[in-house]
Amino acid sequence: MLQCGRFRLSLQRPLIMGIVNVTPDSFSDGGRYADPARALAHARQLVAEGADLLDIGGESTRPGAATVSETEELERVMPLLAALRDDGVPLSVDTVKPGVMRAALAAGVDLINDVNALQAEGAVEALADSGAAVCLMHKQGDPATMQQAPRYASVVDEVEHFLLQRAVVLRAAGVASARIVLDPGIGFGKTVEHNLELLKATGRLASQGYPLLIGVSRKSLLGALTGRPVEERIHASVAMALLAVARGARIVRVHDVAATRDALKMWEALQ
Ligand SMILES: Nc1nc2ncc(COP(=O)(O)OP(=O)(O)O)nc2c(=O)[nH]1
């Protein structure tokens, strides 16, 4: 069970986190939902397609992405969070900024999705003071430079150690384990080989006492394996989400909810 703000989400079956990027420059859908009305319609479409929760992102984290001011990020995400507040769907905000976290939590967001694992000053306190869940993700370096020369002695050991260390910090701050999700951060300071090692270790990473979230949707790893451009990666995205679930992941963060939902229904039918 995931204690996710206003919601208690069963993890008996895998959950789909639908991605709503309200940015001009997200790697696969940047600019498509920058208009508030389009973003709201898209968010509701993802719920209709079977998203169990929505992840609202106001700052691209793709390699080389420019950073966004807190004011700008708030202007992007807050109207959508407000419009979705009473739709009855758990809402996540994808941010590294404690100020954005606090505003989103005050507006009722149910999960903080932080690619920086709440390392910013004040982030742990912001989360601890709320009832929201948190996704702690590993990354090596920052989007601007993380893909220049990723290097690990043992990527699985190091990612696992980091995530468990961050979970210990949260538990010490009074955050119950039922509010914590871990994520190895596919594509965040990793080579193709590093990403594949982490995905092969999904079972191990998912057995650490916390639900594991995998986000691989449309990412360059899939392009490297298939040769497909970003707009042609739905098949590989669905396949890798299904494989992650089959190996123990409990949440998949995806752009293509309907296709992923159908695939997970097939997996569930065989359990
Ligand atoms: N927890 C988690 N959060 C994430 N946020 C963004 C992206 C990148 O994907 P996307 O949001 O589609 O692109 P962009 O960061 O360019 O908006 N990937 C993850 C991920 O793998 N895990």
Triad 72, 87, 214: Cα angle to 5°: 65
Sign of the torsion formed by the C-alpha atoms of 185, 186, 187 and 190? positive
Residue 97 has what pLDDT?
98
> In the prediction, which pLDDT does 33 show?
87
Confidence at residue 48, expressed as pLDDT on a 0 to 100 scale = 98
**Is residue 128 very low, low, confident or very high in pLDDT (cuts 50, 70, 90)?**
very high
Predicted pLDDT at 167: 98
Phi then psi dihedrals of residue 233, to 5 deg: -110, 15
pLDDT recorded at residue 199: 98
Residues 184, 205: contact at Cβ < 8 Å? yes
| pLDDT confidence bin for 195, thresholds 50/70/90 | very high
pLDDT at 31: 86
Sign of CA dihedral 27, 32, 38, 43: negative
pLDDT of residue 207: 98
Q: Name the active-site residue from 218, 219, 233, 250.
A: 219
Is 6 known to be catalytic? Answer: no
Q: In which residue are the tokens 């396949």 written?
A: 239
Whole-structure pTM value: 0.97
218 an active-site residue? no
In order of start, what are the domains of the chain with their CATH numbers?
A: 2-7+9-61+70-269 (3.20.20.20)
Q: What one-character-per-residue DSSP string does 163-202 give?
A: HHHHHHHHHHTT--GGGEEEE--TTSS--HHHHHHHHHTH
pLDDT given at position 144: 87
| Structure confidence by residue, pLDDT tens digits, 42-57 | 999 999 999 999 999 9
Is the reported ipTM for this assembly greater than 0.85?
yes
Distance CA 219, CA 224 (A): 9
Mean pLDDT in residue range 12-37: 92
Q: What confidence score (pLDDT) does residue 42 get?
A: 97
**Measured from the CA of 28, which atom of ligand 1 is nearest?**
12
Ligand 1: which atom is nearest the Cα of residue 113? 1
Q: What is the pLDDT of residue 100?
A: 98
Does ligand 1 come within 6 angstroms of the Cβ of 114?
no
pLDDT of residue 66: 85
What is the mean predicted confidence (pLDDT) over 86-94?
Answer: 98
Can you tell me the mean pLDDT for 25-36? 87
Instruction: For residue 182, give the nearest of 158, 164, 161 by alpha carbon.
Output: 164
Q: Where are the beta strands (DSSP E) in 65-192?
A: 91-94, 111-114, 133-137, 180-183
Residue 64 reports pLDDT greater than 90: no
Which pLDDT tens digit goes with each residue over 216-232?
999 999 999 999 999 99
Backbone φ and ψ of 93, nearest 5°: -120, 135
- Give the orientation angle of helix 234-246 with respect to helix 257-269, to 10 degrees: 40
138-172 pLDDT, tens digit per residue, is 999 988 889 899 999 999 999 999 999 999 999 99
Top mutation candidate among 136, 252, 253 for ligand 1, by most atoms within 8 Å of CB: 253
pLDDT of residue 252: 99
The per-residue pLDDT for 84 is 98
Q: How confident is the model at residue 68 (pLDDT cuts 50, 70, 90)?
A: very high
For CA atoms 184, 187, 193, 195, the dihedral sign is positive
Residue 148 token pair: 């220049």
CA 113 – ligand 1 centroid, Å: 9
User: Do residues 93 and 113 lie in contact, with contact meaning Cβ atoms separated by under 8 Å?
Assistant: yes
pLDDT band at 63 (very low <50, low <70, confident <90, very high): confident
